[in-house]
Amino acid sequence: MEPLAFKRGMTELMDQGLDVEVMATDRSTSIQKLMREDFHNVQHEFDIWHTAKGFRKKMHKKAKKKGNEILLAWTRSVLVSVSVVLKCRWKSILQHVRNEHEWTDDDGEHHRCDHAPLTAQERRLRMWLKEDSLAFQDLSSLVLDKRLLRDMEKMALFKHTGPLEVFHSPLLKYIPKRKAFPFQGMRERCHLAILEHNENIVKRKQATTKTGELRFNRVFCKRSKQWVLKKIFTPHSF
């Protein structure tokens, strides 16, 4: 049912004139096949968060085996590791632009670009950068920007299909998985979930005090071990 719904949804969106450039999904093989065969003009990306989450789940399962409890201590590192890999790939652009496609980093680790070997003509025609050029220095400072690299950790794990996960919560309320509904019922229940989502997530405003100031809460974030401000929103409406 999933590939069928996916195909219908995509076709309808595109028929209505929406120009879909990138589609991020989990790694379901049937969707991969569909994207390859029916929507080959759309770039297909995997949601890294799903992959990391899935891997963590598998690790938790293995950790339940007797004698394997030690694995539990390592599951959190999985998510961190994903962002490290991503950062590493991101930084590799600084090699590629200099026509260097295999290199060894400061830690003695060997890396190479993901692309297929370039033909002689491709090598000749690209406008490679010289390491001592100002252009390369400027690009480096942009790519290696500390704040960007730090933000990337969050981008890698929580963007993409994250907002869709939020939508699943009202969806499950109106369409519990354990019950079967006829097509019409499914559709109308889905509409209700969309209305609720739009009303409470998309359109919801930050709460204000009587004098009109925005309201915040102070919350301790365990992960970053810092106090952060969280917006207080107006009450949910159903």
Residues at the site binding Zn ion, with contacts judged by CB under 5 A = 96, 101, 113
Residue 29 · residue 46 · CB < 8 Å: no
Nearest distance from residue 91's CB to Zn ion, in Å? 13
Burial (Cβ within 10 Å: 0-12, 13-18, ≥19) of residue 49: buried
Nearest distance from residue 105's CB to Zn ion, in Å? 15
Nearest distance from residue 227's CB to Zn ion, in Å? 43
| Cα gap 85→91, rounded to integer Å | 10
Tokens of 48: 């890294």
How many C-alpha atoms does 45 have within 13 Å on its Cβ side? 13
Tokens of 100: 């260097």
**Nearest residue (CB) to Zn ion, 87 versus 101:** 101
What are residue 20's phi and psi, to 5 degrees?
-85, 120
**Nearest residue (CB) to Zn ion, 113 versus 190:** 113
Residue 35 · residue 22 · CB < 8 Å: no
**Nearest residue (CB) to Zn ion, 40 versus 124:** 124
**Nearest residue (CB) to Zn ion, 45 versus 102:** 102
Nearest distance from residue 119's CB to Zn ion, in Å? 13
